[in-house]
Amino acid sequence: MNKQETLDIFKKIRAGAISPEDALQRLCTEPFEDLGYAKIDHHRELRQGVPEVIYGAGKTPEQISGIAGAMMDKGQRLILITRLPPEAAEILEKNLPLKYHKTAQIGMIGEMPKPDGIGKIAIATGGTSDIPVAEEAALTAESLGNEVIRLYDVGVAGFHRLLSRLDVIMNAQVIISIAGMEGALTSVIGGLTDCPVIGVPTSVGYGASFGGVAALLSMLNSCACGVSVVNIDNGFGAGYLASMINHQRTQ
């Protein structure tokens, strides 16, 4: 249930279309639905503006199908399933209207909304190997109503590649910088722009990168102002946060 649907209930009470007791019963039964293996938070959209997202890793296709089905029954317009393995997606596609994005390992049920953010979200990667994390961020942001511009393989080993798209960097409302190895791209972008920069360290790199820890520490220690950092490979978290920033309007 979203804010508009809740407001409609209040309007129906005022108009006498439903009783306060009926409205209370509906609101009380909405907060979560217990499936035994999952408790679905149907009030998430009302509280936060975004409905619950299904984290696919570790769940069986049957569990994912049950959760998605319950969400569809409640009228959720777009269901996002992150970290969905290809073999699970293949099973789910037989029973659900699922659109699967293999590179990002994201499944979607429903139609993408039209962009309604303040501006554009730019997503830059250090290399091609970072694209799976970048696509997770990009599809998350797009599913939340944002226009996304992708700048892939613009790392500091060829700094001129980033400078050739300086117009995008300078005009973005928020930038997601995704890099493995030493993670230097985030500091560079942070020093070029006046908008918030979200760093995403990836597990891409040789042995001493420690599975993304080296990039994580580099980004956390960035001397550029306006840089925040999410966890290693957390494209979803970056896309979600970027959407929140891109929808903050001065009242």
Domain coverage including residue 21: 1-30
CA end-to-end span of the chain: 24
> What is the average pLDDT value for the chain, to the nearest integer?
90
Give yes or no for a contact between 120 and 110, defined as CB atoms under 8 angstroms apart.
no
Q: How many domains does the chain have?
A: 3
Environment class of 13 (CB within 10 Å of its CB; exposed 0-12, middle 13-18, buried 19+): middle
Which one has a higher pLDDT value, 142 or 159?
Answer: 142
Q: What is the pLDDT of residue 42?
A: 81
**pLDDT score recorded for residue 161:** 93
The pLDDT tens digits for 75-104 are: 888 999 999 999 999 999 998 999 999 999
Give the 3-state secondary structure of residue 184.
helix
Check whether residue 127 and residue 189 sit in a common domain. Answer: yes
How confident is the model over 203-247, as pLDDT tens digits?
A: 999 999 999 999 999 999 999 999 999 999 999 999 999 999 999
86 and 9 both lie in a single domain: no
Q: What is the pLDDT of residues 14-73, one digit of tens each?
A: 888 888 877 767 666 667 777 788 888 887 877 777 888 999 999 999 999 999 998 888
Residue-level pLDDT at 26 = 67
Report the half-sphere exposure of 212 (CA within 13 A, side-chain side): 17
Q: Say which residue, 126 or 75, is predicted with more confidence.
A: 126
pTM of the full predicted structure? 0.85
Half-sphere exposure of 150 (CA within 13 A, CB side): 16
Same domain, 224 and 185: yes
Q: Are residues 38 and 104 in the same domain?
A: yes
Quick one: 226 and 138 in the same domain? Answer: yes
- For residue 251, being part of any structural domain is answered with no
Instruction: Select from 80, 110, 140 the last residue of a domain.
Output: 110
Which pLDDT value is given to residue 7?
Answer: 76
Distance CA 67, CA 32 (A): 12
Reply yes or no on whether the pLDDT at 250 is more than 70. no
Per-residue confidence (pLDDT) for residue 251, from 0 to 100 = 46
Instruction: Give the rounded distance of the alpha carbon of 159 from its chain centre.
Output: 28
